[in-house]
Amino acid sequence: MKKYYLLLTKLICLGLIFVSCEKKEGEGGSGNIVGKVYKIIDDGAIESDSTLGYYFVKDTVLACDEDVFIVYGDNEYGYDDKVSTNHNGTYKFNYLNDGKYTIYTFSDYGSGEKVAEVRNVEVVDEGSTIVEDIYIQDGKNVGYCGIIGSVIARYEEATRPLPGIGIRIYLKSSNGTTIEDTRANDKGEYAFAKLEPNTEYIIFAESENGKDEGFEASSIKVKTGNAGEIVFAPEAIPVFIY
């Protein structure tokens, strides 16, 4: 019996030693995590070409001085450490034990909302573990969408309708509040960006009815699509210039 208890005691001690020697995720090891962050800037500029049609112009740049966060293992109570990207968008976490880690940084939406861009990483031995590149969104148009349309002008001296070049176009919400205005380009086309997704807007232009007769508005209703999409107005806005 005495030998049995002695053996049991040794096994328990060995088990405790094993547990105490088992390293959890965190600092104290010889591994490191390295990655790079890029920033996709979208401020709402719209262009077009024969292949892509209309699209938001976005610029991808290296994300310098951007905070990157790390979570050790299954920690559910916040991040364990953070670093900032250097001049070429690179970040590095040093002296890590083997195990699973979560890396993240944030996209900044036009509404002010921040959305985490996450990468899951496993450190399995000494040396560097390379993380898949992280792309974050930034700009006043991120999370929003746009509308493209056209204006047709009927001039008193013209025999047919012409593109409404330079005509001022107004955008307002469905409750009647005017939000912004723009002018039609040299093709009679207009564009609005930074609009709420899946929302109905009223777009209108004013016809000139004569020198002393004031103005009369012609309007259409357009509903935007999902975030990041550009929709086309279902019809041209007619204006009359006398």
- Phi-psi region at 45: left, alpha or beta (left = phi > 0; alpha = psi -120 to 50): beta
Residues paired with 128 in a beta bridge? 32
Do 129 and 209 share a domain, yes or no?
Answer: no
Instruction: Specify the pLDDT at position 19.
Output: 41
Q: What is the pLDDT of residues 63-117, one digit of tens each?
A: 999 999 999 999 989 999 999 999 999 999 999 999 999 999 999 999 999 999 9
Please check whether residue 11 lies inside any domain of the structure. no
Q: What is the pLDDT of residues 130-150, one digit of tens each?
A: 999 999 999 999 999 999 999
Please check whether residue 95 lies inside any domain of the structure. yes
Write down which residue in 118, 138, 158 finishes a domain.
138
User: Is pLDDT of 60 > 60?
Assistant: yes
Do 163 and 226 share a domain, yes or no?
Answer: yes
User: Is pLDDT of 215 > 70?
Assistant: no
Instruction: Specify the pLDDT at position 207.
Output: 82
Do 42 and 82 share a domain, yes or no?
Answer: yes
Instruction: Specify the pLDDT at position 150.
Output: 96
At 158, is the pLDDT very low, low, confident or very high (cuts 50, 70, 90)?
confident
Write down which residue in 138, 166, 182 finishes a domain.
138
Determine the average pLDDT of the residues in 228-233: 96
User: Is pLDDT of 57 > 80?
Assistant: yes
Do 37 and 133 share a domain, yes or no?
Answer: yes
**Which run of H or E residues covers position 6?**
helix 2-21
At 241, is the pLDDT very low, low, confident or very high (cuts 50, 70, 90)?
confident
pTM score, whole prediction: 0.80
- Rounded-to-integer distance, Cα 196 and Cα 177, Å: 14
Please check whether residue 3 lies inside any domain of the structure. no
Instruction: Specify the pLDDT at position 6.
Output: 42
Which CATH number do you get for residue 228?
Answer: 2.60.40.10
Please give the residue range of the domain that contains residue 155: 145-241
Q: What is the pLDDT of residues 4-46, one digit of tens each?
A: 444 444 444 444 444 445 578 999 999 999 999 999 999 999 9
What is the share, in percent, of the chain residues with pLDDT greater than 90? Answer: 70
Do 217 and 163 share a domain, yes or no?
Answer: yes
Do 130 and 153 share a domain, yes or no?
Answer: no
| Number of domains composing the chain | 2
- Rounded-to-integer distance, Cα 80 and Cα 96, Å: 12
Please check whether residue 13 lies inside any domain of the structure. no
